Structures are given as structure tokens and as C-alpha cells.
Amino acid sequence: MDIAKIRKKAKEASEKEKGERQSAEGQGSAAAAPAAAPQAEPEEVREEPLEPADAPESWGPPEEAAPAPAAPEARETGEEPGIVELLTFALGREEFAFRVPEVEEIIRYQTITKVPTMPDYVCGITSLRGKIIPVIDLKKRLVLSAGDETGEETGAADEEYRMRNTKILILAGPRGLIGATIDRVIGVVRFPEGSVIDPPAHLTEEELMYVEGVVSLEGRFISIIRSEAALTIEVA
């Protein structure tokens, strides 16, 4: 019997048994330990707007976060800041103007019905798309001459002349729409606010009441009418 071969076989068997035992122990440990959970991917975070029904009682932005209201001047006049827009027109030989936001439209002279016990500057009433509005004679209201551009008197009864030449401005008066008769529309002009100067001090108190300022255009002076005073009908 070859002792060397026997030792070699015994050694090989021992190593094989040892290897099988270690393999068995490794498999047992792997079976006993829970499998490692795969790493979860992070969930996508979505921001959903808070609905009023789920919101707390203090729902809504704080008061200071609310947008500031438009400036009263911009809301009431509709003019650009620092700019004055004027509709200029003729009364006899004089040139006057209303601020453009005060003028609703311009129409031809039409039938006007007299109303008793009204001041002499009130022409009467007329119909504008089914609405009855008063009409004033702006020349009489501003205490101007009743003559036309040539200085000739036309007379209040000259209806044909009025139909041919007179226009009616429809304006936003203190109590609603009101018409004002004029001789002729000239156009629209724009001035910086600083170009408007105070009316001359030598005007009478009555004249100053109707004129809010004066502007100069190519050597012409245009009086801006104070609509609150001119368009108010004073009934005794």
C-alpha cells in the first residue's frame, strides 16, 4: 500500500468535505437573511394648489399683497399721466376746448323741443338713441355774443342756419349726458399738463367760474371750459 497516495487521497477528501461544509453554511446564512430590498426611487414631488374648500379660514393673500387700485386721476379722466388731451371747437371767433374724456360723441344739429320755465341758455331736450337729454346753448351759457364767425346775428329762430352749421357735443355732465351746441369742431390737441396756465386775472368772477385754464397753440389761445360749472343747469 502506497502511504503517500493514501495521505494524498485523505487530504483531498478532507478538503472536499470542508469545502462542502462551508458551502452549505453559506447557503444557509443566505436563506436565513432577508433579501435586501431594492433601493426605492424617490417619488416625484408635485405641488398642488390649495383649493378654497380645503384651505384654512385665512384663505387668500394678506391684504398688503393685494394689488393697489388705479390712481383716481387715471381712472376718472382716462388721460395719460402728465398729458392733457383737448377737443377744440369754435364759438363765434373764439376757440374753446373740453377735455377729451368728457366728450362722448359729436352729432349734427337735430330737432330740439323747448321746455317751459328753463333758463334762457337751455335750448330744450332732444332724443339720442331713445334717451331724452337736455341741450344747452354754450354761447349763452358762457355769456358770449350770439353772432357767427362773421359777426352777423343769426337769430335763435334761424333753424335752417343751425341745421347747416351747428354741431352738438354730447358730454358727460354732472347729472348724466347733456348736449352743448357749438359752431364748429376744430380738432384734438395734446399738451403737457404743465402747459396749462391759469386764466387771466382780469376776467370777471363769472368768467373765471367757467374757465379752468388756457393753453397757447401757434399764437392762438384756447380756453379750457370747466365742465362741472358750464354743464350744470340751474333751475330756480
CB atoms within 10 A of CB 162: 21
Q: Which residues of 23-40 are buried (b: 16+ CB within 10 A; e: fewer)?
A: eeeeeeeeeeeeeeeeee
Share of residues in the chain with pLDDT > 70 (%): 59
Where do the structural domains in the chain lie, given as residue ranges?
A: 72-230
Is the pTM value of this prediction over 0.85?
no
Q: Between the ranges 54-63, 79-88, 98-107, where is the mean pLDDT highest? A: 98-107
- Report, as an integer, the average pLDDT of 72-95: 75
Summary mean pLDDT of the chain = 74
* CATH superfamily for domain 72-230: CheA-289, Domain 4 (2.40.50.180)
Is 90 exceeded by the pLDDT of residue 58? Answer: no
The string of pLDDT tens digits covering residues 103-128 is 999 999 999 999 999 999 999 999 99
